[in-house]
Structures are given as C-alpha cells and as structure tokens.
Amino acid sequence: MTNSKQTRFILHERQTVASTNDEARSLAENGAPGNSAVWALEQTAGRGRRGREWASPPGNLYVSLLLRPECKIAEAAQLSLVAALGLGDAISEYVAPSRVRNKWPNDVLVDGRKIAGLLLESSSNGGGAVDWVVVGCGVNVANSPDLREYAATSLNAVSETEVPVRALLETFLERFEERYQSWHLGGIAPIREAWLERAHDLGQNVTVRLPTRELHGIFEGMDQTGALILALADGAREIITSGDVFTDQGR
C-alpha cells in the first residue's frame, strides 16, 4: 500500500484481482476510510453495468474509489457524473479536449468511440444516508475490447504518445478530487452543467433501450438529479433514470 503524493487518496495496489470493485467493497465493509482507491494491473472477473463482463487484460487502467460522502443514498448516483468528468479531464491531458465526450449514463468517448466506463455500487446506513460508495473505473489504455454494440478505442491509439498507466491514474485521482470537491461545495448544478458541455448526442435523435421496451426521441438534456430527458415525437417528455442509449444514425 502506498500513498499518492498528488491527492488525499490512500492507494492500495494489486497485481491481479477478480474485481477492483469487490476489493474496494471489502475495504468498505471492514471500516476503511473514504478516499481509498484500489488499483489493479489485471482483473479476472471485471464487470460493467447490468452484470456485463468487462474485459480486463493487462495494460489498461482498473481502479475503484471508496468514498464516504455525507449525502442521501438517492444522491449517490450523481457521483457517476463526477467520475465521468474526472476521467474526461484526465484523458484530455493526452488528447484534445474537444475530442472527449460524455455518453449517458456512465461512459467516456474519444472521437465517438468508448474509451472508459464506470460502475457504481453503494450501501446505506439504514437511515437513508450513504454508508459508502464504490466508483469503479476502467480506461482502455493499451487495449480496447471488440464490443458488439459500441465502437471502442484505446488511449494509446488516439494519443500521440504512449500513456503510462500509473501517470494516468495519478492524473485521474487529482482531477476526480477537484470535481468531487466541486460537487461537495456546489451540489449537482455545476457538475450537471460541466457534464452537458461534453455531452454526446445532446439534441440528437437517440434510442433508449430499457429492460422491457425501447424509446425513441431527442436527447434534450438532464434534470437536476442527473436523469436523461427524452423528448418524444408526441411532445411528451420521458425521464430516464437507467438505460442504454444509442445514436439513431450510424448504430
């Protein structure tokens, strides 16, 4: 275990783990403080949203942040927006910021291709407040998976120089902490505004895939909780709290 010199995060380094989220959750359940991070060179059972497998070969960044924010459990989901901004800030150190976009709800794109994803897990204290939140982050640095539904890329493929994983990790922890403090001080409003400035497909026709149906409409924005606002053809608006979003053209 080592301490990052640039941030207040306590960094727990691992060679190979099943999942950094599992490791961070174990730390949380054993009383580890907030601002702890688990970084592994490889995951053998990494996972994404909805239990999807997350390919985790050596050469990419796999890190999970353990946080203990003082907020209601319903507000914890906002940390996916905070983390997406931090990841985008870090990636923008290696590529032009105009190429970096946020894809709702928890992906980061470069040139329209997925380069990073997030997975949040949380636990309450029984009274409606957060006990802990684990923010799992995966960034394609040296390798990118062949995804069936999304085009993917890697940081080394889009950057002019090869990116050291540790350097990216340290930059991300710095940038995340800056965004996290902004959220603490200003709530969701400044985070929402900054996220929308990088939003992919904002104002465009999209398909939102839900567990039991698909919706088609215009991605109009996000409400004050971070939910997607979808303007339907009949003039109605649908508030989406969870789903998969696809660009209607070029899917």
DSSP for 50-95, written as a single string: GG-B----TTSEEEEEEE--SSBGGGGGGHHHHHHHHHHHHHTTTS
Mean pLDDT, the chain, rounded, equals 91
Asked if the domains at 2-197 and 205-247 fall in one CATH topology, the answer is: no
Residue 153 has pLDDT above 60, yes or no: yes
Q: And the tokens for 3?
A: 């301490």
How many Cα atoms are found within 13 Å in the side-chain-facing hemisphere of 197?
A: 11
Residue 6 has pLDDT above 70, yes or no: no
- The confidence score (pLDDT) of residue 106 equals 92
Q: What pLDDT digit, counting tens, does each position of 96-123 carry? A: 999 999 999 999 999 999 999 999 999 9
Choice between 204 and 51, residue whose per-residue pLDDT is larger: 204
- The confidence score (pLDDT) of residue 150 equals 81
- The confidence score (pLDDT) of residue 7 equals 61
CATH code 3.30.930.10 for 2-197: yes
Q: Provide the residue ranges of all domains of the chain, joining segments of one domain with +.
A: 2-197, 205-247
C-alpha 167/C-alpha 75 separation (Å) is 30
The dotted CATH code for 205-247 is 2.30.30.100
- The confidence score (pLDDT) of residue 3 equals 37
Q: How far is CA 173 from the centre of its chain?
A: 13
pTM of the model: 0.91
Please say whether the beta carbons of 154 and 146 come within 8 A. Answer: no
